[in-house]
């Protein structure tokens, strides 16, 4: 199922990072991208793209450009 809302989208990206850390524990850093949908109002749905990165100690996440469906 497609993630809905910023919270679910970010959670999906961090889950991808966690999987990468489990499967490649010796990597220097981990990056993940997750896309999902957000209901803006009754007539508008946007596609959001979350990007996450960590080196195992510092974490950062943000949303890239969005577009309307």
48, 69 in Cβ contact below 8 A?
A: no
pLDDT at 26: 96
Residue 32 CA to its chain's centroid (Å)? 6
14, 32 in Cβ contact below 8 A?
A: yes
Backbone angles phi, psi at 57, to 5 degrees: -120, -50
pLDDT at 65: 81
pLDDT, mean of residues 46-69: 92
pLDDT band with cut points at 50, 70 and 90 for residue 67: confident
Residue pLDDT, tens place only, 25-37: 999 999 999 999 9
Residues 20 and 37: their CA atoms lie apart, in Å, by: 24
Write down the pTM of the prediction.
0.87
């Amino acid at each position: 199922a497609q993630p809905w809302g910023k919270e679910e989208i970010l959670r999906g990206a961090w889950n991808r990072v966690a999987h990468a850390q489990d499967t490649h524990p010796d990597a220097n850093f981990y990056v993940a991208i997750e896309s999902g949908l957000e209901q803006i109002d009754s007539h508008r749905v946007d596609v959001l793209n979350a990007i996450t990165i960590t080196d195992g100690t510092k974490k950062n996440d943000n949303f890239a450009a969005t577009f309307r469906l």
